[in-house]
Structure 1
Amino acid sequence: MSKSTYELEREANIARNKALLEQLDMKQALTDLSLPKSKVIEKPKPTAKPVQPAKKVKERVKEKIEPPRRQSTRLQKSVVDPNETPAKKRKREAELEEQRAKEAEERLVAEEQERHAKRPRHYDLELSLLVEDEDDLKTLPDLTGSLQQISITAQPKAVADTDAFVFSDHKKETAEVKELREKLQGLKVVSRAKVTQNRVYSAAYHPDKTKDLIFFGDKHGQLGIWDARAAPEEAADEDGDVAPTEDGEGGKYWRLQVHWPATSKSSISSIKFNPIDAHSVYTTSYDCTVRAFDFTSGVSREVYSTGEGILPSSMDLPPTGLEVWISDSLGGLTHLDIRESSSKARRYELSHTKVGCVSVNPTRTHYLVTSSNSRVLQIWDTRKLSNIPVNLLEITPATAPGAGTDVPGIPFEEASGASMAEFLETPDGKASVVAEWTHDKSVSSAYWDPRGRSVVSTSYDDSLRIWEFSTNRLDSNSTFPSSRPFSQIQHNCQTGKWLTILRAQWTPNADVYPHFTIGNMNHSVDIYSCKGDLITKLSDSTKITAVQAVTCSHPNIVERVATGNGSGRCVLWAPPEADQ
């Protein structure tokens, strides 16, 4: 078929352009064109300087166990001797078969070791095993000394009187709020540091008055211990230069890999100190374990294992420190008496969805408040729960705590959802739920204040709600009458996927007018009174450019607030003179 005029002209143009390109000196042509240089757009300077680690963190190179690679059997065959006798052939084939069996066994062993390395650790862990960075091993004596120093004196958790800060005169109430505002509104950022390597999930402030010792749990099971006002060690870089202290980190910190594996499967969901003496710290993790780290011995031991797939979401201990209440992702609530074997633990299936928070009333420990994704906040009378019929679960790979791990399962008693539903229809069952309030969306947290008188809840319906109960109502054995919350505050709680859920946390200080802290999506820390009055908003745009999602307060010093964000950076808010 003859080509059209258009196709002939197109081929001619291609040939002509090709010839021109071959003759053209492209470099010289570009020079002759004298094209203007592209303008460099200067990036705006950040309003806040990010905290940079004072020392370079050298991650320990973890040995990866690689199983032997599979090889083709055909390629492994040696050259066959044409004169090979039948006896030699049988011998050669037997040697090849033995070699293949040996390689298969080595591969299975390597695969099992790799699986074992990813399982939660159920054995006791010495302090040296909790530190992964080689440089941090050198500072362990400092950490040991600090922990033993604060363990000399018992520092029990303070509990306020139920009628503390209850006034009939409104002027006295106003005076207390004014005094509290004067103390807190002047707090400034006095120390910053990247305490954990990943997103901060939980935090707790140690009650010692001589130090600002704050514990942060992160997304990958790491427990960061921050002595926020300690004199930092000046570390030189590779050239021998010392980093300026104004841009460096404040205080000293240590990172302990308490929960394993070091992935999002081990996020530390809550941290609590032993309420008797504060000489040990309890942590719950998504590796399905509850561990206690003792300051005097330097050993982390497992207190309880919920079982595979049952993720502990929160825990609380009454002031006696003898019991632990644990909420979980499958709608359960577990009671454990630490004086007894963990096999005596009882699990109650309260909801068909996640129970995200549990809090024990500090003055009347038989009252618990729970919050769940079913949009319900409930107050339980645990004295009635003992009447629920329970079943002793058998030790099977599917049901027992420790399933799928290197330790045998532990039997435990459970009140199933069917048992609970049946029980709640009985008179005792109806009396066990003394109060219940439905929110518009899931309830992410609910906590009793130090007096055991007020409850604050946080919900995805962008509201903070406060309930207040009288002494007579708390002492009655009947259910609480249905009532609206005492105060309801609009607050953006839409954290999304990459931020830790916002939780309103009461200050544990029993000697001060009750108030709570909560992170704000606009990078501030909001502080409210127990009546819903805004005390102050802590912010600093020159130093803070991220949401301070996790908050906590000092149990004994009013003018102390600590916060953590999604990258592991933590902040201490205190009076300016505290930095001197």
Structure 2
Amino acid sequence: MSDFEEEREANIARNRALLAQLDVSLDIPKKHVTAEKPKVKPVRSAKQRLKREAGPALPTRTSSRLRRSVPDPDETPEKKRKREQEEELLRQKLEQERLEAEERAREVKKPRHDSLEMYAHLEDQEAQEVMALTASLQVTTKTVNARRVGDMNSYQYDEEHHEAAVTELKKKLGGMEIVSRAKVTKERIYSAAYHPEKTKDLIFFGDKHGTLGIWDARAPAEEVEEDGDVASQGDGEGGKSWRMQLHWPNSSHSSISSIRFDPIDAHSVYTSSYDGTIRTTSFVSSISTEILYNENALPTTMDLPPHGHEMWIADSNGGVTHLDLREDKSKARWYQLSEDKIGCLSVNPVVTNLLLTTSNSRVLRIWDARKLQSISIKGKGPYEINAEQLEEFRETKAGKDVMRGEWRHGKSVTAGYWDPHGRRAVSTSYDDTIQIWDIKPEVTQKDAEFPSMRPAHQFHHNCQTGKWVTLLRAQWNPNPDVYPHFTLGNMDRSLDIRSYKGELITKLADKNKITAVQAVTCSHPNILERAASGNASGRCILWAPTDTE
């Protein structure tokens, strides 16, 4: 024992003797020395563990003074010269390694331009995951799901028949609930598209970091508990999802801005990304190929007419690009239609020469693509028409009606789309209004400016999404066999479905299961009672009748 402990024990003995003389008993417990508990190691985050395991990406730079060997005071001039040569060679070798590592780091951050094997970029590359995805995609290739369009003269009802049609929609769509939900992507959902296959609910989502999420929402899902028993997922969780990193780098510079299926057969999917690339991924060959690259602008959206032979792409520089998919991409033509970013572009599915664009210039415009393509371009490329050249063309007789209509909003117009009948258009704007146009068929057939661009209907809707929520976009139901209506995310965490006159058909919501804004929406092209939505966390929801098999 230490001196302090010995003195303490002596004091206790003297006190016991004194208390014994006074006939007083006192039990003083002896000190119990417990073994020191081992310190618990701090829990490291996933990023710290990966960083520790990976080690430094580049060679560590050290002082040249420390790298030099200590010279021998008795070394001869020959040995000194040899030592200096070795030190110089070592310095050159380290410098070369450093430059090569920096070049590799730069290459990793560049967009991918070569053809990619889609399964090689699957996040979970286990054999079971690949086989499950292959089985889901192969189902879609057994049938031809061509894009269907409606008749411009259809659904021209009077007020009485219109109310009856809306009542019927309320009856069918009002019973939709959450039948499946899953975290399809890790980052914020930017875009979505519903595959037209009738036998499956196959939905594609593009996220902020260039990942394409594929969700088979009604596929049987199982999870294994800790004791090894298999239990089905409850509380609405279900389906099977996969993630593929088709665009690079894995950062916000590669956000997938739009997704479109091949309108001829739906056997491949087109994706546009902020990395400047447009890619097509085939479900038959399982190969992803780049079809266009623009390093000077961000592709914001793209669209294809039903015949599927051409593509129109809008970008952040206020331009649109026309690409004939049967020609080499070097022959693509670029037209600057706005001084500011064009956030959305839509091709009329019936009168395919009518292009609808919305921009940060606060205007919605309708262009005649035939007249844009008639502008002569001198030289062999690049095939570009800037704003000044376009204005000169508009002053000529041939370019008088190149812009068929224009409507100015109060603030930036985030989206605008034609309906599947090619007659109606809907726009979403930061001025908190949803505008709806109903253009007569005979007006669209004439080669002249529209006599009026005043919206037929409008209503107030909160579109102030802020920084962390994807922009709201009113999306038409692409099914031409149903009364025209569209879906729209709501800041109160619901999914609104409205008729083409703006009446609210139903408000899909579930406060117990939904805690985020359902900003991105889409609908099944062939089944009425199907809708999907996604939020900023990558979690997606399938809305359908609960009794659907």
Q: State the 1:234 CA deviation.
A: 2.2
2:88 paired with 1:101? no
| Selected match of 2:252 from 226, 240, 264 | 264
Q: 1:194 to 1:289 in 2, by over 3 A?
A: same
Secondary structure of the corresponding residue to residue 234 of structure 1: strand
Structure-to-structure mapping, 1:32-43, within 5 angstroms: none
Q: Give the aligned residue type for 1:370.
A: T
2:119 alignment counterpart? 128
Q: State the 1:427 CA deviation.
A: 2.7
Q: Which runs of 4+ in 1 moved over 6 A?
A: 59-62
1:304 alignment counterpart? 292
1:528 alignment counterpart? 498
Q: Give the aligned residue type for 1:149.
A: V
Q: 8 Å contact 1:270–1:285 — kept in the other structure?
A: yes
1:117 alignment counterpart? 108
1:74 alignment counterpart? 65
Q: 8 Å contact 1:60–1:133 — kept in the other structure?
A: no
1:356 alignment counterpart? 343
Q: TM-score, normalised by structure 2?
A: 0.88
**Per-residue Cα deviation, 1:436-490 (whole angstroms, up to 9, x for no partner):** 0110101100000000000000000000000001111111111101242000110
2:185 alignment counterpart? 196
CA distance in 2, matches of 1:185, 1:172: 19
2:150 paired with 1:180? no
Structure-to-structure mapping, 1:15-54, within 5 angstroms: none
Q: Which moved more, 1:104-113 or 1:126-135?
A: 126-135
CA distance in 2, matches of 1:453, 1:248: 38
Q: 8 Å contact 1:389–1:419 — kept in the other structure?
A: no
2:279 alignment counterpart? 291
CA distance in 2, matches of 1:219, 1:281: 18
**Per-residue Cα deviation, 1:140-171 (whole angstroms, up to 9, x for no partner):** 1111121112101111011101111112x322
CA distance in 2, matches of 1:287, 1:173: 45
Structure-to-structure mapping, 1:199-348, within 5 angstroms: 199-237=188-226, 240=228, 245-247=233-235, 249-306=237-294, 308-348=295-335
CA distance in 2, matches of 1:298, 1:244: 31
Secondary structure of the corresponding residue to residue 422 of structure 2: coil
2:441 paired with 1:471? yes
CA distance in 1, matches of 2:341, 2:331: 23
CA distance in 2, matches of 1:121, 1:138: 27
CA distance in 1, matches of 2:372, 2:54: 49
Q: Give the aligned residue type for 2:196.
A: P
Q: Which moved more, 1:198-207 or 1:531-540?
A: 531-540
Q: Give the aligned residue type for 2:132.
A: D
CA distance in 2, matches of 1:200, 1:260: 16
Q: Give the aligned residue type for 1:518.
A: L
2:137 paired with 1:147? yes
**Per-residue Cα deviation, 1:78-123 (whole angstroms, up to 9, x for no partner):** 2211110000000000000000001000100010001001110000
1:449 alignment counterpart? 419
Q: 1:64 to 1:115 in 2, by over 3 A?
A: farther
Q: State the 1:186 CA deviation.
A: 0.8
| Selected match of 2:507 from 513, 525, 537 | 537
Secondary structure of the corresponding residue to residue 179 of structure 2: strand
Q: State the 1:60 CA deviation.
A: 9.2
Q: Give the aligned residue type for 1:351.
A: S
Q: Give the aligned residue type for 1:138.
A: Q
Q: Which moved more, 1:329-338 or 1:528-537?
A: 528-537
Q: State the 1:390 CA deviation.
A: 3.1
Q: Across the two proteins, how many residue pairs are aligned to each other? A: 501
Q: Which moved more, 1:70-79 or 1:199-208?
A: 70-79
Q: 8 Å contact 2:123–2:242 — kept in the other structure?
A: no
Secondary structure of the corresponding residue to residue 94 of structure 1: helix
Q: 8 Å contact 2:222–2:233 — kept in the other structure?
A: no
CA distance in 1, matches of 2:274, 2:489: 23
Q: 1:60 to 1:147 in 2, by over 3 A?
A: farther
Secondary structure of the corresponding residue to residue 521 of structure 2: strand
CA distance in 2, matches of 1:493, 1:432: 31
Secondary structure of the corresponding residue to residue 223 of structure 2: coil
Q: TM-score, normalised by structure 1?
A: 0.84
Structure 2: stretches of 5+ with no match in the other structure: 1-45
**Per-residue Cα deviation, 1:9-30 (whole angstroms, up to 9, x for no partner):** xxxxxxxxxxxxxxxxxxxxxx
Q: 8 Å contact 1:60–1:134 — kept in the other structure?
A: no
Q: 8 Å contact 1:266–1:287 — kept in the other structure?
A: yes
CA distance in 2, matches of 1:106, 1:292: 37
2:153 paired with 1:170? no
Structure 1: stretches of 5+ with no match in the other structure: 1-55, 394-410
CA distance in 2, matches of 1:574, 1:508: 16
**Per-residue Cα deviation, 1:544-579 (whole angstroms, up to 9, x for no partner):** 11100000000000000000000000000000112x
Q: 8 Å contact 2:189–2:537 — kept in the other structure?
A: yes
Q: State the 1:323 CA deviation.
A: 0.5
Q: 8 Å contact 2:405–2:453 — kept in the other structure?
A: no
Q: State the 1:303 CA deviation.
A: 1.0
Q: 1:60 to 1:194 in 2, by over 3 A?
A: farther
CA distance in 1, matches of 2:487, 2:50: 37
Q: State the 1:240 CA deviation.
A: 3.8
CA distance in 2, matches of 1:212, 1:98: 63
Structure-to-structure mapping, 1:301-450, within 5 angstroms: 301-306=289-294, 308-390=295-377, 412-450=382-420
**Per-residue Cα deviation, 1:393-451 (whole angstroms, up to 9, x for no partner):** 8xxxxxxxxxxxxxxxxx63110122112222223333110000110101100000000
Q: 8 Å contact 1:65–1:113 — kept in the other structure?
A: no
Q: State the 1:542 CA deviation.
A: 1.2
Q: Which moved more, 1:169-178 or 1:558-567?
A: 169-178
Q: 1:343 to 1:242 in 2, by over 3 A?
A: same
Q: 8 Å contact 1:221–1:261 — kept in the other structure?
A: yes
Secondary structure of the corresponding residue to residue 546 of structure 1: coil
CA distance in 2, matches of 1:92, 1:249: 69
Q: Which moved more, 1:513-522 or 1:411-420?
A: 411-420
Q: 8 Å contact 1:388–1:419 — kept in the other structure?
A: no
CA distance in 2, matches of 1:107, 1:390: 47
Q: 1:340 to 1:64 in 2, by over 3 A?
A: farther
2:456 alignment counterpart? 486
Secondary structure of the corresponding residue to residue 83 of structure 1: coil
Secondary structure of the corresponding residue to residue 391 of structure 2: helix
Please provide the CA RMSD for this pair.
1.8
Q: State the 1:523 CA deviation.
A: 0.5
2:19 alignment counterpart? none
